[in-house]
Structure 1
Amino acid sequence: MHDVCSEPIHTNPTANDPLSGRGRLVDTTGRWLAQRPPSAISARFLAKEAGVHPTFVGQCFTPLSLLFEQAHNALAERFMGDIEVDDVLMQVWTEPQALAGHSDYWRAHVHLMLDDIDVHLARDHPVQHLQRAIARHQPRQSSIKGAGLAAAWWSMQIGVLVFERPLDQGFGVTPANKARVKRQVHAVIDALIRGRTPRLQKTSIVTAAEQLPPFGPAEGRQGAEHALLRAAMQLFCERVDVGVSGRELSKLADVNYGLIHHYFGSKEAVFDQAFLRLHDHYVEDMMSVPSYKRSQRMTQHESFLRGWAARELSGSALPSIELKGMRALLQQLIERRGIDRRNNMAMAAARAQSYAVTAMLLGWTLCRPLLSTALQTDESTLLGYLLAIQDHILKEKFQ
C-alpha cells in the first residue's frame, strides 16, 4: 500500500512538478506561521487551506508540532540556499538586514520562539553557520568570543526586523536619512563580523529576576483582577496571547472563568491591561536607574518585550509606547561626542550605533534560550559579550 506520508516534499512553488498533498501542507503551514503564532493555527484550518482532508494532517503529522517544525525547516533551507558564506568577505553576513528578503522565514521563526511549542529550532540553525564562518575567518580568536559575535549578529537582525517601527521612531530615522543610517549600521556589523574588535572582553553579569510590576494585597474583586493580570503577564513569557483561551487564563489565575467577562469584558481586555501595566513599569524602571545600568535592565523585562514583539508582528493597534530610553541614549551619545546636529554624517553614525545596540538587546531578549542552545554557550556568557559589544560600538565612530 502506498504511504502518502512518505512522499517527498516539494516546497519550491516554482518547481515543475505539482506539490504533493504533504508538500502543499508544509508550504501552506510556512505561509501561515509567518502570519500567526502556532497556537492560533489549527490542524483543520491548515487542511482546508492546503486542500487536503483533515485526517490527512493527523496521519502525517502527529503531534501537530511536527508539521510546524517541517514548515520552519523548509523556510530555513530556502534562506540558507539563497546565501553563500565567503570565508574572506562574508558579505551576506554583514548586511544590516540579511533576513529582510525572507520575511516568511524570520516571522515564522519569531512566532515559534514566542509560543510554547515543541519545535527544535536550534538544529542546523543559521547562527551556527555564521559561528563556523567567523571561526574560519578568525582562527586565532577564542570560540567563546566567536559565539558572542554570532549571537550579536542574530539578535541584531531579529531586533531590527521585529521592532523596526519603534526603533525608527525612537532614534529619529526618517525616509530622508534612512539610507545614510543603514550604511552606518552596515559599517557597525561589518566591523564586528570581520573581527575588528581586538580589545573586546566579556562584561560581568549580575543575575537578576524578571522585572514585574508590584501588586499589593487584595481580596474580592480586586484580588481576582490582580490574579488575572498576573497570570496574563506570566503567559507573555511563554505564549502569544492570541492563542491563549479564556479558560486557560482563568485556570492559571485560579479564578472563575466567568469573572473574566464580568470584570474585564473579554480575555483580550485582560491581556491589554496587563500589557499596559508592564509598559508603565518598564518605562518607570528604566528611567529610575543610571544610564550605564539600563542595557542589562532592559533584558529583565522579558514579559513586556515579548508581548510587544507579538503585537508588532500582528500589526494590531498598540498603545502609545514611550521611547524615552532610546531618545536618552541617542542624546547622551550626541552630547558625549559634541556632535553638531547639522552634521548629517555624524548624526547618522550616532543614530546607527544607538539603533544597532538597542536592536541587539531587544532581539537577544526574544532569542536568548535558542541562541544559548544553538551556540552551546550559557546565556550569561553570551549576554556578557553582547554588553561588551554595545560598549565597543558606542565608543567607536565607524565613519
Structure 2
Amino acid sequence: MAGHRPQGREETRDALVRAADALFAEKGPNAVTVREIAARAEVNHGLVHRHFGSKEALLDAVLDRHMAAFKTALRSAGTIDEAIPVLQAVQQDRPGFARMMAFLILERRATEDFTRPAGGTADLADIIRSGGPADDDAARAAAAMVTAFSLGWTLFRDFTVTAAGCRQSPGDMNRMAMAALLALARPPAEPQGPEQRPEQGLEGGPEV
C-alpha cells in the first residue's frame, strides 16, 4: 500500500535522501537508478534532477547527512572514553552507512570523491589529541584505525564471530570490541630516542 506522498520542497528532498540512502546501502550507488530512488520516495523521477541535479549530488547529500550525524554526536563527547561508545551507538543506529561505504570502495571510486576531510573521523582525532600525549599525526592515525576497526566490526561481526566459533554472547563480544577500540584510541607517546644506559662505576663504566 502506498504511503504518504511527500509534499513541498523540504519534504520531497528529505524523502529522496532517505530513499537513496536505503537503496545505496542495499545495492551500491552504481547499481541504483534515479527512477528507483524516485519510486522508493514516491515522487516523480524528474524531481531528483530538480532538487539535486544528478544522482551523484544526491549521493553527496546522503553522505553529508551521515557525517552531520557523526559530528553532532561526537560534539557531546568530551573524552575518548565518552567518544567511543558514542561512535558505536551512531553506527548501530545507521547500519546502512557501513554497507554503503563498502560498496563505494568496491566500486573503485576515488577515495577523495566520497570522504569528508572535516567529518567525524577528524573530530575523533581532535578528541584523542586533546586527551593525552598524542601529537597531531599520532591522533589522526589512531582515529583512522578506530574508524576502520569500528566499520569493519559493524560489517563483518556476524561472519567473523561465526567463523571463529566464538561462544561468548553478542553483548560480551561487543564489550570486547569496545575495549579494543579504546586501546586503539590511546596511541603511545612519541619515543624519546635510544634508551640511556645508567651511569656505571669505574669498572665497566662508559668510555670517555
TM-score, with length taken from structure 2:
0.72
Deviation at 1:107, TM superposition (A): 2.5
CA RMSD of aligned residues (A): 2.9
Which residue, 84, 93, 102 being the options, matches 2:84? 93
1:156 and 2:154 are equivalent in the alignment: no
What percentage of residue pairs aligned between the two structures are identical? Answer: 17
List runs of 5+ in structure 1 lacking aligned partners.
1-16, 202-399
Match of 2:52 in 1: 61
Deviation at 1:157, TM superposition (A): 0.7
Aligned partner letter, 1:189: L
1:32 and 2:26 are equivalent in the alignment: no
Contact 2:74 2:86 in 1 (8 A): no
1: CA distance, partners of 2:179 / 2:21: 33
Which residue, 159, 168, 174 being the options, matches 1:166? 159
Match of 1:356 in 2: none
Match of 1:206 in 2: none
CA displacement, residues 87-114 of structure 1 (integer Å, 9 cap, x when unaligned)? 3354232579442222133323332333
Deviation at 1:172, TM superposition (A): 2.5
Which residue, 104, 121, 125 being the options, matches 1:127? 121
Cα 1:147–1:200 shift into 2, 3 Å: farther
Aligned partner letter, 2:103: H
CA displacement, residues 49-70 of structure 1 (integer Å, 9 cap, x when unaligned)? 2122222222333332111110
1: CA distance, partners of 2:121 / 2:74: 13
Contact 2:150 2:181 in 1 (8 A): no
1: CA distance, partners of 2:143 / 2:30: 29
Question: Relative contact order (alpha carbons < 8 A, sep ≥ 6): 1 or 2 greater?
Answer: 1
Write out the 4+ residue segments of structure 1 that deviate beyond 6 Å after TM superposition. none
Match of 2:4 in 1: none
TM-score, with length taken from structure 1:
0.40
2: CA distance, partners of 1:38 / 1:181: 31
Match of 1:44 in 2: 35
Cα 1:181–1:50 shift into 2, 3 Å: closer
Cα 1:107–1:200 shift into 2, 3 Å: farther
2: CA distance, partners of 1:61 / 1:178: 41
Aligned partner letter, 2:115: L
2: CA distance, partners of 1:143 / 1:58: 41
1:182 and 2:174 are equivalent in the alignment: yes
Contact 1:48 1:54 in 2 (8 A): yes
2: CA distance, partners of 1:179 / 1:154: 20
Contact 1:44 1:54 in 2 (8 A): yes
Match of 2:3 in 1: none
Contact 2:77 2:86 in 1 (8 A): no
Contact 1:191 1:197 in 2 (8 A): no
2: CA distance, partners of 1:52 / 1:96: 34
| Aligned-partner SS, 2:140 | helix
List runs of 5+ in structure 2 lacking aligned partners.
1-7, 193-208
1:70 and 2:61 are equivalent in the alignment: yes
2: CA distance, partners of 1:129 / 1:79: 9
Contact 1:72 1:108 in 2 (8 A): no
1: CA distance, partners of 2:162 / 2:32: 32
Deviation at 1:185, TM superposition (A): 2.9
